[in-house]
Structure 1
């Protein structure tokens, strides 16, 4: 998610809606309309369900699937991306609102929600204008995998009481587990039956009819069962009154900015990460790839505008985007169709939605939350590197034991620690030449025939060398020198992408130490940036052109010429 080129600068005059309207083809109209309606069948019930996860009225989910969807369709760079909310954003929103509105009064809750969504949007927009799209890279894939799995556990635990028809005071993880266990004997059998039937239906439809709108089917069955069987009189709780009509204008509460700011930053990071991942996952051949900084501005403005009309924080969703694309979406018109269907639901279907069982909502949330747990991803991580698997587990435990907002901080810190760990100990290889070739490779027991050069030690460090690892690299080089007693040490720096001031100072000091021992230092294969730094330093003056070489072949030729002539210094310039 690197920075966009200047051609696509967020400060430019290019407006995405004008671009896709200009390029729109008449043949796309029908598939866009069909895809938009199909996606709405998934988006509408899931958005309402996720609103309940956040502790908000179900209509807030509808507002979130309407306003942000429209704004993104006008400003976003991904053609199929469908924007509303997600399980990740919902549970983070719930944690944030619980801190500032512990009593949960409806008016205070909605005002805090609007403030949170507006802050999320402002942070995203500012990040886009400052071209900070690369920031999302600071959460590694293994840590994000663990973070989402931890969220799934928290969400399922949060929704189980609704599935059982019991009420459990919320607290820490083990408090909630204990409360559910104690409450099981008091569960409503009718509520459990509704929840289980809904879950079974969802799983069966997803497996055997993957393109069918399973959440819409579950919603219709839940409402139908209440209408026909009067389940609300048998202990099954329903959503209750849902107001119809256009959402009211809601102003953010500036007094909550300081308390909601840290949570908004975390939600903004998750929103952008999910948005860019979903958008890029469904790009087809010939389509433009979503641009990170323009996406930040688009999703930021979508959140800010949505906040003013009652929505919760929003972002791109993988499942609904997949439906949108698989059914045939060709442009952002499909998202406008989805928004239109959502608007129709808001204006006309409030009384029907009010009959939906809470257990149906909980079942929808639980079934789709399991999708956040990816066992195949964990297996792939542990097969490649056990250390990164450990980071993933730490992220899981951070969310489960400390809560979602501390969990996202844990995920970021763990990612940065993983990055620091990986870069603090770069490898330094001893090189030898494959016989009869100009191929140089690390010393290996599999290739004992590789050619060594008496008195010449070829070393190749890899990765950037900077203040955090410079002394570690120096120690490794010193150990290898002590084991071989060379006359010349040639550092092959082709694999060193950067050499900052501390590292350059380390090399300068190493050259002086080697010189005192009668050992000569050569530098080989410097890339242009590293070469420029060396040339502008005292080390460059000390080495001169005769001790810097363009490649290993020239270094070996200079070594051979030196041995034949008996000279202490190589005879020919080398960098060019």
Structure 2
């Protein structure tokens, strides 16, 4: 512990504040345009994006455990927020939207803080990686489709992903040529700049260029949709509405889960070895407090962003002072630059959203999953199509359900190996065609189950081991439990019943390799007394030697697979 603390203190003492200043300014150039764009994804004024890059960022800077994590809006949270607000305020009333946003953000914050109190930090690993890959890819496609009409100056009614695709194709002849040229130009320039100069202030350059062209060419008067009026002031107090809590709570749960998942993933991804570890439960508190405070100042749900955090780290940021600089730039933007931002074409914002949402779609990850495990690839596809078919919030439910199914399937189907011995030694390993010369023993069957033995898999394990016994017809079944880290009452009862059933068949049951916890459970059940010392061994090797010394004469044979 002492060396780690010393390293952390040394890091703090030798940090050049100019590095954090540069990092904060550079991050602001990336964060603020994206934050405004994400606000439009959520169906909110762009000023809400600025508010989200202000208060939540400050609060996290004082409470978070990551030195460089940048907290504001993200693509995933924006589309989830849009879905939830669309359900609660279907008519798009501006006043009710702001109130609903405050309520949703406050609920998200309270849920995260409650999870911290309950020590629910372990949920950071709750959704499996393949399922999350599929979910994010689906989200990415939904966001891209949501923004494409803005590139062409179109407005289509949202009826679901596949219907929206057909509607977009149907309305393309009505597109504004001027808007399409502006949007396509911004899109191509941003893609090229990101390719040449990753994590650069490219979004700021595109926004500046869009504002300049809009002002010089009078794009608003020419029919090009622009951002419009932005209040030239810091955010005012906004209060949640208790009457909306019941409607918004289910969505807030999903948003809180995704906010924390993204925050902890980004925090861990950019943690340097010499820095303090990311503490999941403290992150829940920091993320929750950031959202709760932001709710009263007009912010939408926030979380740790990977791209902006990458910028902070890439340009030398070392502490959360960089985030405080970014928040200060956000405040200055609200106070000084708001009128200019109102001239920004919506098509330019749409281009920014599309470019940074495409990154959610990772075909390479799908291919990697398929190479390793076909079943998990199918889970990723199911999560992907779950978002497209059922919607984003329902997609979270699909993702969680798939993760639970995956976990249950793995737990209910533990590996069970028939064990042999490597010739000329004491190495025990599963019998396989790769080791055809491994020894087995006439009359002795060694079986090694792995994992946790509990009610969901006890019967299946008993049936599979019963099949091995029926095939080998041993006089002794030696269960090597060295790979079992826990045994539940149901499984222990099944084992005791199997002992009685095997005894009637003339087969003795021996146990070996019990860890202290499993051994304690076996003793507490009285099963250890029934077995006695002659049928319980510290290792499977000790059981083999006992069999050789005391059981029927042994003849070795080559294992056949």
Per the TM superposition, whether the score is higher than 0.5 is yes
**1:345-371, CA deviations, whole angstroms, 9 ceiling, x for partnerless residues?**
111111011011000000000111100
Which of 514, 535, 538 matches 1:550?
538
Partner of 2:404: 416
2:199–2:307: 8 Å Cα contact kept in structure 1?
A: no
Query: CA offset at residue 307 of structure 1?
Result: 0.1
Partner of 1:383: 371
> Structure 1: which 5+ residue stretches go unaligned?
6-18, 567-576
Which of 39, 43, 50 matches 1:51?
39
Partner of 1:236: 224
Q: 1:221-300 alignment to 2 at 5 Å? A: 221-300=209-288
CA distance in 2, matches of 1:194, 1:50: 19
Count residues with an aligned counterpart.
Answer: 550
CA distance in 2, matches of 1:81, 1:546: 59
RMSD over aligned Cα atoms: 1.7
CA distance in 2, matches of 1:564, 1:111: 81
CA distance in 1, matches of 2:533, 2:235: 72
Partner of 1:562: 550
Bigger mean CA deviation after superposition, 444-453 or 266-275 = 444-453
CA distance in 2, matches of 1:385, 1:471: 26
1:20–1:331: 8 Å Cα contact kept in structure 2?
A: no
Query: CA offset at residue 20 of structure 1?
Result: 8.6
Q: 1:103 to 1:22 in 2, by over 3 A?
A: farther
Query: CA offset at residue 23 of structure 1?
Result: 7.0
CA distance in 2, matches of 1:461, 1:565: 27
Query: CA offset at residue 22 of structure 1?
Result: 10
2:290 alignment partner, SS class? helix
TM superposition score normalised by structure 1: 0.93
Q: 1:22 to 1:349 in 2, by over 3 A?
A: farther
Q: 1:154-233 alignment to 2 at 5 Å? A: 154-233=142-221
**1:27-46, CA deviations, whole angstroms, 9 ceiling, x for partnerless residues?**
43111111111111111000
For the pair 1:426 / 2:411, whether they are aligned, the reply is: no
**1:229-261, CA deviations, whole angstroms, 9 ceiling, x for partnerless residues?**
222233211000011111110111000101100
Partner of 1:463: 451
CA distance in 1, matches of 2:183, 2:277: 40
Query: CA offset at residue 218 of structure 1?
Result: 1.1
**1:415-443, CA deviations, whole angstroms, 9 ceiling, x for partnerless residues?**
10111111211121111001011111111
CA distance in 1, matches of 2:46, 2:290: 20
Q: 1:300-311 alignment to 2 at 5 Å? A: 300-311=288-299
Partner of 2:498: 510
Query: CA offset at residue 21 of structure 1?
Result: 9.5
CA distance in 2, matches of 1:20, 1:302: 25
Partner of 1:374: 362
Partner of 2:520: 532
CA distance in 1, matches of 2:96, 2:19: 42
1:452 alignment partner, SS class? strand
2:12 alignment partner, SS class? coil
Partner of 2:307: 319
CA distance in 2, matches of 1:52, 1:28: 37
Bigger mean CA deviation after superposition, 537-546 or 384-393 = 537-546
CA distance in 2, matches of 1:545, 1:377: 52
**1:318-367, CA deviations, whole angstroms, 9 ceiling, x for partnerless residues?**
00000011111111111111111111111111101101100000000011
**1:89-148, CA deviations, whole angstroms, 9 ceiling, x for partnerless residues?**
000000110111111111100000000000000000000011001123221000000000
Which of 431, 449, 466 matches 1:443?
431
Partner of 1:114: 102
